[in-house]
């Protein structure tokens, strides 16, 4: 399927960790489902509609997953002083 969610081996929390010289990835704080949606959306540039079709869920569910994951990441990065 064209535009489908790329397989996890292309970009995973581990490959992101490897790029940051072994530092823990903020993505580790996310559930597997949240990680996959965030990676598909933010790294691979898929729309929420594309992700929803691939996952077999509604677009509103993808939005909720994205929002929850981004809030977790924002909080984690803020608590660690990376962002204000």
Q: Which residue has the higher pLDDT, 63 or 5?
A: 63
Report the candidate in 54, 19, 23, 21 with the shortest Cα–Cα distance to residue 37: 54
- CB 49 within 8 Å of CB 56: no
Q: Which residue has the higher pLDDT, 50 or 16?
A: 50
Q: Work out the pLDDT band at 84, boundaries 50, 70, 90.
A: confident
Give the C-alpha separation, 17 to 12, whole Å. 9
* pLDDT score, position 17: 47
Give the C-alpha separation, 24 to 77, whole Å. 12
In this prediction, residues 46-50 reach a mean pLDDT of 97
């Amino acid at each position: 399927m064209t535009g489908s969610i790329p397989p996890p081996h292309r970009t995973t929390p581990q490959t992101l960790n490897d790029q940051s010289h072994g530092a823990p990835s903020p993505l580790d704080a996310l559930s597997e489902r949240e990680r996959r949606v965030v990676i598909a959306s933010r790294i691979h540039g898929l729309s929420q509609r594309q992700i929803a079709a691939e996952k077999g869920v509604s677009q509103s569910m993808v939005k909720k997953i994205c929002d929850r994951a981004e809030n977790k990441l924002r909080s984690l990065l803020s608590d660690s002083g990376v962002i204000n």
